[in-house]
């Protein structure tokens, strides 16, 4: 049985749900689990019908508790080096998905689990969530993008506070600091429902426009302003002369819902 599943939720056209499905281990990231996530992300990236992705968990208690330290205890240095290649492919694949991604986080999201969420474009936190990057407390550092993505979200000093102290945050503080984009009340499936609603809204817009907007934002984020504006201009041109732009203008004038050609 696989530890990852891909679903197409009812009533959410264009949205696919990637479910971390290793509940007996609270989705601890073993090497095999990471390989399955890599394969699933690759499948989603190759599917032109996908317009948004929700990353969720089947565990009632956790989104993902991070690296499987029971497995790590039995891995020698060569094994750790080999695992590192798989883990980097997992985080990079999720980060580089061409469509918007939304993490639906409840319960524990620690270490690599929080980094999976940070690799998504948007994060929905349920009030039950507990998040943190505890790596320095077990002799490593965040290696799934945490030192970079958390700093970009929160700024240097707030990220340094969380990474250097390895402390955990409850959902309210995490949301206040800006680690999450939505905070929803506790309830069975509340984060998932909110994430699906958000993804469905996104998927209803021009796929060409959304894709190019994400590309421009990602590529231009760390660029000098002039270079960023050039990146934006190229993305604008790729969108403005597409079938989606023609359909969007026609639908607006005809007062109807667009039927996006996606090209």
For residue 54, the 8-state DSSP code is E
| pLDDT score recorded for residue 196 | 97
The residue ranking higher by pLDDT, 124 or 187, is: 124
In the residue annotation, 67 being an active-site residue is answered as yes
Q: Which residue is catalytic, options 12, 28, 67, 216?
A: 67
> Is residue 179 situated within a structural domain?
yes
Exposure string for 166-186, b = 16+ CB within 10 A, e = fewer: bebbebeebbebebbbbbbee
Q: Are 77 and 168 part of one and the same domain?
A: yes
CATH number at residue 226: 1.10.12
> Is residue 112 situated within a structural domain?
yes
Q: pLDDT band for position 151 (50/70/90)?
A: very high
In the residue annotation, 263 being an active-site residue is answered as no
The model's pTM: 0.95
Q: Are 198 and 214 part of one and the same domain?
A: no
Span 94-145, pLDDT tens digits: 999 999 999 999 999 999 999 999 999 999 999 999 999 999 999 999 999 9
- Work out whether the CA dihedral 236, 119, 190, 154 comes out positive or negative: negative
Q: Are 167 and 237 part of one and the same domain?
A: no
Q: Are 194 and 218 part of one and the same domain?
A: no
> Is residue 261 situated within a structural domain?
no
> Is residue 65 situated within a structural domain?
yes
> Is residue 212 situated within a structural domain?
yes
Q: pLDDT band for position 188 (50/70/90)?
A: confident
pLDDT surpasses 60 at 75: yes
Q: Are 98 and 123 in contact (CB under 8 A)?
A: no
In the residue annotation, 115 being an active-site residue is answered as yes
CATH number at residue 27: 3.90.226.10
In the residue annotation, 103 being an active-site residue is answered as no
> Is residue 118 situated within a structural domain?
yes
Q: Which residue is catalytic, options 14, 66, 112, 144?
A: 112
Dist CA 3 CA 46 (whole Å): 20
Q: Which residue is catalytic, options 17, 126, 135, 197?
A: 135
Sheet of 168-170: strands edge to edge?
A: 62-64, 108-110, 130-132, 168-170
Q: Which residue is catalytic, options 111, 113, 115, 145?
A: 115
What is the average per-residue pLDDT within 234-240? 96
| pLDDT score recorded for residue 1 | 55
Number of domains in the chain: 2
Q: Are 221 and 164 part of one and the same domain?
A: no
Residue 227 lies in domain: 207-254
Q: Are 121 and 108 part of one and the same domain?
A: yes
> Is residue 260 situated within a structural domain?
no
Span 77-94, pLDDT tens digits: 999 999 999 999 999 999
Three-state DSSP class for 63? strand
């Amino acid at each position: 049985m696989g530890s990852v599943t891909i679903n197409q939720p009812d009533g959410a056209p264009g949205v696919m749900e990637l479910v971390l499905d290793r509940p007996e281990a609270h989705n601890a990231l073993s090497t095999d689990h990471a390989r399955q996530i890599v394969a699933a992300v690759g499948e989603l990236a190759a599917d032109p019908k996908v317009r948004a992705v929700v990353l969720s968990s089947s565990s009632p208690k956790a989104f993902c508790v991070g690296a499987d330290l029971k497995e790590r205890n039995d891995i020698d240095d060569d094994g750790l080096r080999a695992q590192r290649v798989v883990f980097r492919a997992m985080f990079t694949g999720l980060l580089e998905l061409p469509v918007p991604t939304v993490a639906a986080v409840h319960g524990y999201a620690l270490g690599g689990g929080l980094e999976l969420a940070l690799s998504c474009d948007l994060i929905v936190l349920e009030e039950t969530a507990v998040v943190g990057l505890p790596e320095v407390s077990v002799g490593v550092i965040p290696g799934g993008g945490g030192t970079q993505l958390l700093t970009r979200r929160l700024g240097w000093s707030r990220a340094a506070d969380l990474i250097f102290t390895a402390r955990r945050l409850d959902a309210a503080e995490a949301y206040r600091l800006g680690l999450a984009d939505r905070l929803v009340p506790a309830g069975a499936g509340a984060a998932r429902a909110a994430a699906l609603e958000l993804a469905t809204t996104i998927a209803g817009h021009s796929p060409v426009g959304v894709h190019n907007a994400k590309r421009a934002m990602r590529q231009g984020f760390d660029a000098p302003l002039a270079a960023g504006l050039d990146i934006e201009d190229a993305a604008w041109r790729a969108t403005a002369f597409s079938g989606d732009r023609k359909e969007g203008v026609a639908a607006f004038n005809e007062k109807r819902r667009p039927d996006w050609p996606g090209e």
